[in-house]
Amino acid sequence: MTDQTFRIAMLNDRCRQGFDRSARVVITAACLATLAGEDGTASEILAQAEVMAAIRRYVFKPEDGCERARGDLVVAGHAVRFTIDYYDLSLEWGSEDPADPLATTRVMTIMLPSDD
């Protein structure tokens, strides 16, 4: 693993753990509806908390890649996928240097595999 890849992996871990204040987290509507069921807003909040806790505990496998930017897991009996993408600070373009936290906004998308 190169120094740059290691740095990106560490920054991605900060994003997954909720320590990157500039990161964005997006949960697709289909994923949230599947995890929450039809019980309303309280269930959606609990589903969000449950999926975030599962992603924070996620143990990476070799096939997930060195940057630790994606993973597949099961939450409440449902297959869930997360990916972390790298954008410039204005969220208009891809980041030129994902290893530079001052030039990159990370966006973690949580979705069902069918959303991909």
Instruction: Give the per-residue pLDDT at 13.
Output: 97
Crossing angle of the two packed helices 41-57 and 29-36, in degrees rounded to 10: 100
Strands (E) located in the chain: 24-27, 70-75, 78-87, 105-111
Model confidence over 54-105: pLDDT tens digits?
999 999 988 888 999 999 999 999 999 999 999 999 999 999 999 999 999 9
One-letter amino acid of 7? R
23-27, 40-44, 58-62, range with the lowest pLDDT: 40-44
The pair of structure tokens assigned to 111 is: 């979705």
The pair of structure tokens assigned to 7 is: 């740095």
d(CA 24, CA 28): 13
Helix (H, G, I), strand (E, B) or coil at 73: strand
Position 109 pLDDT exceeds 80: yes
Position 39 pLDDT exceeds 80: no
Neighbours of 41 (CB within 10 A): 8
**What is the average per-residue pLDDT within 4-8?**
95
